[in-house]
Amino acid sequence: MMSRPRTSRITALAYRQWRLMVSTAYELLPPMMEPFLYLVIFASIMGTILPEVIYEGVSYSYLTFIVPGILAMGAFTRGIHGGTPIFVDRMTGELETLFGLPVRRSLLLLSNVSAVTIHGLLYSVVLLAVGKAISPDFPWSFDRALAAIGIASLLTIISTFIFSAVCCAVRRQSTYNLLLNVILLPLTLISTAFYPLDHAPAWIRLIASMNPITMAVDSIRHVLLAPQLSPVDLISGILPLVVIGLIAGGMAFYFFNRTLK
Protein backbone atom coordinates (compact mmCIF):
# COMPACT_ATOMS: atom_id res chain seq x y z
CA MET A 1 0.00 0.00 0.00
CA MET A 2 1.26 3.47 -0.83
CA SER A 3 2.34 5.32 2.31
CA ARG A 4 0.44 8.41 3.48
CA PRO A 5 3.43 10.82 3.04
CA ARG A 6 3.91 9.65 -0.54
CA THR A 7 0.20 10.02 -1.25
CA SER A 8 0.18 13.54 0.19
CA ARG A 9 3.16 14.48 -1.98
CA ILE A 10 1.44 13.22 -5.11
CA THR A 11 -1.69 15.14 -4.12
CA ALA A 12 0.27 18.35 -3.56
CA LEU A 13 2.20 18.01 -6.82
CA ALA A 14 -0.97 17.12 -8.74
CA TYR A 15 -2.67 20.20 -7.29
CA ARG A 16 0.28 22.34 -8.44
CA GLN A 17 0.04 20.90 -11.94
CA TRP A 18 -3.73 21.39 -11.96
CA ARG A 19 -3.32 25.05 -10.98
CA LEU A 20 -0.90 25.51 -13.86
CA MET A 21 -3.30 23.83 -16.28
CA VAL A 22 -6.29 25.98 -15.33
CA SER A 23 -4.41 29.21 -14.69
CA THR A 24 -5.69 30.67 -17.97
CA ALA A 25 -8.99 30.50 -19.82
CA TYR A 26 -7.13 28.95 -22.76
CA GLU A 27 -6.40 25.85 -20.71
CA LEU A 28 -9.83 25.61 -19.08
CA LEU A 29 -12.23 26.40 -21.92
CA PRO A 30 -11.29 23.72 -24.52
CA PRO A 31 -12.83 20.87 -22.47
CA MET A 32 -16.05 22.88 -22.49
CA MET A 33 -15.94 24.04 -26.11
CA GLU A 34 -14.79 20.90 -27.92
CA PRO A 35 -17.99 18.89 -27.28
CA PHE A 36 -20.07 21.67 -28.82
CA LEU A 37 -17.77 21.97 -31.84
CA TYR A 38 -17.74 18.24 -32.55
CA LEU A 39 -21.35 17.48 -31.73
CA VAL A 40 -23.11 20.60 -32.94
CA ILE A 41 -21.07 21.27 -36.10
CA PHE A 42 -19.17 18.16 -37.22
CA ALA A 43 -21.77 15.57 -36.25
CA SER A 44 -24.62 17.68 -37.65
CA ILE A 45 -22.93 17.95 -41.04
CA MET A 46 -21.91 14.29 -41.13
CA GLY A 47 -25.42 13.33 -40.04
CA THR A 48 -26.78 14.65 -43.34
CA ILE A 49 -24.46 12.24 -45.18
CA LEU A 50 -24.81 9.32 -42.78
CA PRO A 51 -28.23 9.75 -41.13
CA GLU A 52 -28.14 6.53 -39.11
CA VAL A 53 -25.75 3.78 -38.13
CA ILE A 54 -26.64 0.21 -37.22
CA TYR A 55 -24.78 -0.86 -34.11
CA GLU A 56 -25.35 -4.34 -32.67
CA GLY A 57 -28.67 -4.60 -34.45
CA VAL A 58 -30.00 -1.24 -33.26
CA SER A 59 -30.34 1.87 -35.40
CA TYR A 60 -28.83 5.02 -33.92
CA SER A 61 -28.48 8.53 -35.29
CA TYR A 62 -24.97 9.47 -36.34
CA LEU A 63 -24.94 12.03 -33.55
CA THR A 64 -25.46 9.29 -30.97
CA PHE A 65 -23.00 6.96 -32.68
CA ILE A 66 -20.20 9.52 -32.62
CA VAL A 67 -20.42 10.44 -28.92
CA PRO A 68 -18.21 7.52 -27.79
CA GLY A 69 -15.68 8.40 -30.51
CA ILE A 70 -15.48 12.04 -29.45
CA LEU A 71 -15.21 10.96 -25.82
CA ALA A 72 -12.24 8.72 -26.62
CA MET A 73 -10.55 11.29 -28.87
CA GLY A 74 -10.89 13.94 -26.19
CA ALA A 75 -9.42 11.58 -23.62
CA PHE A 76 -6.48 10.77 -25.89
CA THR A 77 -5.69 14.39 -26.77
CA ARG A 78 -5.66 15.29 -23.07
CA GLY A 79 -2.39 13.34 -22.96
CA ILE A 80 -0.80 15.96 -25.20
CA HIS A 81 -1.49 18.50 -22.46
CA GLY A 82 0.29 16.17 -20.06
CA GLY A 83 3.36 15.68 -22.20
CA THR A 84 3.90 19.17 -23.56
CA PRO A 85 4.62 20.84 -20.18
CA ILE A 86 7.44 18.36 -19.60
CA PHE A 87 9.05 19.39 -22.88
CA VAL A 88 8.55 23.10 -22.15
CA ASP A 89 9.88 22.74 -18.58
CA ARG A 90 12.98 21.00 -19.88
CA MET A 91 13.61 23.71 -22.48
CA THR A 92 13.16 26.52 -19.93
CA GLY A 93 15.14 24.87 -17.14
CA GLU A 94 12.12 24.50 -14.84
CA LEU A 95 12.40 20.72 -14.96
CA GLU A 96 15.91 20.88 -13.55
CA THR A 97 14.54 22.93 -10.64
CA LEU A 98 11.82 20.36 -10.01
CA PHE A 99 14.39 17.55 -10.07
CA GLY A 100 16.25 19.41 -7.32
CA LEU A 101 13.32 19.03 -4.95
CA PRO A 102 13.44 16.24 -2.33
CA VAL A 103 10.85 14.27 -4.27
CA ARG A 104 11.31 11.15 -6.34
CA ARG A 105 11.06 11.71 -10.08
CA SER A 106 8.42 9.02 -10.36
CA LEU A 107 6.15 11.06 -8.07
CA LEU A 108 6.57 14.10 -10.33
CA LEU A 109 5.41 12.05 -13.30
CA LEU A 110 2.53 10.45 -11.37
CA SER A 111 1.33 13.85 -10.18
CA ASN A 112 1.29 15.11 -13.75
CA VAL A 113 -0.69 12.07 -14.89
CA SER A 114 -3.15 12.57 -12.02
CA ALA A 115 -3.77 16.23 -12.91
CA VAL A 116 -4.28 15.45 -16.59
CA THR A 117 -6.67 12.62 -15.74
CA ILE A 118 -8.79 14.96 -13.62
CA HIS A 119 -8.81 17.38 -16.55
CA GLY A 120 -10.02 14.53 -18.75
CA LEU A 121 -12.76 13.64 -16.28
CA LEU A 122 -14.12 17.16 -16.59
CA TYR A 123 -14.14 16.83 -20.37
CA SER A 124 -15.91 13.45 -20.23
CA VAL A 125 -18.66 14.64 -17.90
CA VAL A 126 -19.36 17.72 -20.03
CA LEU A 127 -19.37 15.71 -23.25
CA LEU A 128 -21.81 13.09 -21.98
CA ALA A 129 -24.09 15.80 -20.63
CA VAL A 130 -24.08 17.64 -23.96
CA GLY A 131 -24.60 14.40 -25.88
CA LYS A 132 -27.62 13.56 -23.78
CA ALA A 133 -29.05 17.07 -24.15
CA ILE A 134 -28.88 17.31 -27.94
CA SER A 135 -29.35 13.68 -29.00
CA PRO A 136 -32.89 12.39 -28.38
CA ASP A 137 -32.01 8.71 -28.83
CA PHE A 138 -28.86 8.80 -26.70
CA PRO A 139 -29.38 6.21 -23.94
CA TRP A 140 -28.65 7.27 -20.41
CA SER A 141 -27.73 5.18 -17.44
CA PHE A 142 -25.62 6.35 -14.52
CA ASP A 143 -23.69 3.09 -14.18
CA ARG A 144 -22.99 2.92 -17.92
CA ALA A 145 -21.89 6.54 -18.02
CA LEU A 146 -19.60 5.91 -15.05
CA ALA A 147 -18.05 2.91 -16.83
CA ALA A 148 -17.55 4.96 -20.01
CA ILE A 149 -15.82 7.72 -18.06
CA GLY A 150 -13.59 5.12 -16.43
CA ILE A 151 -12.50 3.75 -19.81
CA ALA A 152 -11.89 7.27 -21.10
CA SER A 153 -9.77 8.00 -18.03
CA LEU A 154 -7.71 4.88 -18.70
CA LEU A 155 -7.08 6.13 -22.25
CA THR A 156 -6.05 9.52 -20.86
CA ILE A 157 -3.50 7.83 -18.61
CA ILE A 158 -2.13 5.82 -21.54
CA SER A 159 -1.91 8.90 -23.75
CA THR A 160 -0.20 10.94 -21.03
CA PHE A 161 2.40 8.22 -20.56
CA ILE A 162 2.99 8.02 -24.34
CA PHE A 163 3.43 11.75 -24.87
CA SER A 164 5.48 12.10 -21.67
CA ALA A 165 7.89 9.48 -23.02
CA VAL A 166 8.04 11.28 -26.38
CA CYS A 167 8.69 14.65 -24.71
CA CYS A 168 11.49 13.17 -22.64
CA ALA A 169 13.08 11.35 -25.57
CA VAL A 170 13.22 14.14 -28.17
CA ARG A 171 15.52 17.15 -27.99
CA ARG A 172 14.17 19.53 -30.61
CA GLN A 173 10.86 21.34 -30.93
CA SER A 174 10.63 20.48 -34.64
CA THR A 175 11.10 16.77 -33.87
CA TYR A 176 8.43 16.91 -31.19
CA ASN A 177 5.94 18.62 -33.54
CA LEU A 178 6.66 16.04 -36.24
CA LEU A 179 6.19 13.08 -33.91
CA LEU A 180 3.01 14.64 -32.53
CA ASN A 181 1.43 14.68 -35.99
CA VAL A 182 2.84 11.28 -36.92
CA ILE A 183 1.29 9.74 -33.80
CA LEU A 184 -2.01 11.60 -33.56
CA LEU A 185 -3.24 11.86 -37.16
CA PRO A 186 -2.92 8.18 -38.21
CA LEU A 187 -4.34 6.96 -34.90
CA THR A 188 -7.34 9.25 -35.39
CA LEU A 189 -8.03 8.36 -39.02
CA ILE A 190 -7.47 4.62 -38.66
CA SER A 191 -9.94 4.16 -35.83
CA THR A 192 -13.65 3.72 -35.30
CA ALA A 193 -13.99 7.11 -33.62
CA PHE A 194 -15.88 8.86 -36.41
CA TYR A 195 -17.11 6.05 -38.66
CA PRO A 196 -17.57 2.29 -38.65
CA LEU A 197 -14.89 0.27 -40.41
CA ASP A 198 -16.98 -2.81 -41.21
CA HIS A 199 -16.50 -2.36 -44.98
CA ALA A 200 -12.97 -0.95 -44.86
CA PRO A 201 -10.07 -2.85 -46.49
CA ALA A 202 -8.74 -5.74 -44.44
CA TRP A 203 -5.37 -4.09 -43.80
CA ILE A 204 -7.05 -0.98 -42.35
CA ARG A 205 -9.24 -3.10 -40.09
CA LEU A 206 -6.13 -4.99 -38.93
CA ILE A 207 -4.26 -1.80 -38.04
CA ALA A 208 -7.35 -0.32 -36.43
CA SER A 209 -7.75 -3.39 -34.22
CA MET A 210 -4.31 -2.65 -32.70
CA ASN A 211 -5.07 1.05 -32.25
CA PRO A 212 -5.62 2.01 -28.57
CA ILE A 213 -8.14 4.65 -29.67
CA THR A 214 -10.19 1.99 -31.44
CA MET A 215 -9.98 -0.28 -28.40
CA ALA A 216 -11.27 2.53 -26.16
CA VAL A 217 -13.96 3.66 -28.64
CA ASP A 218 -15.29 0.14 -29.09
CA SER A 219 -15.39 -0.44 -25.33
CA ILE A 220 -17.08 2.89 -24.62
CA ARG A 221 -19.55 2.40 -27.48
CA HIS A 222 -20.41 -1.06 -26.18
CA VAL A 223 -20.92 0.30 -22.67
CA LEU A 224 -23.15 3.16 -23.80
CA LEU A 225 -25.08 1.74 -26.75
CA ALA A 226 -25.18 -2.06 -26.58
CA PRO A 227 -28.70 -3.35 -25.82
CA GLN A 228 -27.21 -6.02 -23.58
CA LEU A 229 -24.03 -5.18 -21.70
CA SER A 230 -21.72 -8.16 -21.71
CA PRO A 231 -19.12 -8.21 -18.90
CA VAL A 232 -16.97 -10.62 -20.94
CA ASP A 233 -16.89 -8.25 -23.92
CA LEU A 234 -16.18 -5.34 -21.61
CA ILE A 235 -13.26 -7.05 -19.89
CA SER A 236 -11.84 -8.34 -23.17
CA GLY A 237 -11.96 -4.79 -24.52
CA ILE A 238 -10.35 -3.17 -21.48
CA LEU A 239 -7.62 -5.76 -20.88
CA PRO A 240 -5.53 -4.80 -23.96
CA LEU A 241 -5.71 -1.16 -22.85
CA VAL A 242 -4.37 -2.13 -19.45
CA VAL A 243 -1.45 -3.97 -21.09
CA ILE A 244 -0.71 -0.98 -23.33
CA GLY A 245 -0.92 1.29 -20.29
CA LEU A 246 1.64 -0.80 -18.39
CA ILE A 247 4.03 -0.73 -21.37
CA ALA A 248 3.53 3.00 -21.95
CA GLY A 249 3.99 3.68 -18.24
CA GLY A 250 7.23 1.73 -18.17
CA MET A 251 8.54 3.70 -21.14
CA ALA A 252 7.48 7.02 -19.60
CA PHE A 253 9.20 6.29 -16.27
CA TYR A 254 12.33 5.08 -18.07
CA PHE A 255 12.72 8.18 -20.25
CA PHE A 256 11.63 10.56 -17.48
CA ASN A 257 14.25 9.18 -15.09
CA ARG A 258 16.93 9.55 -17.76
CA THR A 259 15.98 13.15 -18.61
CA LEU A 260 18.83 15.66 -18.07
CA LYS A 261 21.32 12.84 -17.52
pLDDT at 220 (0 to 100) = 93
pLDDT score recorded for residue 164: 84
Question: Over the chain, what is the mean pLDDT?
Answer: 79
Concatenating the DSSP letter of every residue in 175-224 gives HHHHHHHHHHHHHHHSSSSSS--TTS-HHHHHHHHT-HHHHHHHHHHHHH
- Beta-carbon neighbour count of residue 206 at 10 Å? 11
Candidates 79, 43, 243; CA nearest to 152 is 79
Q: For residue 1, what pLDDT is reported?
A: 44
pLDDT of residue 218: 92
Contact 37, 53 (CB under 8 A): no
According to DSSP, residue 55 is labeled E
Which segments in the chain show pLDDT lower than 70? 1-32, 34-35, 89, 93-96, 98-103, 260-261
Which of 6, 21, 19, 24 minimizes the C-alpha distance to 108? Answer: 6
Report the Cα 11 to chain-centroid distance in Å. Answer: 21
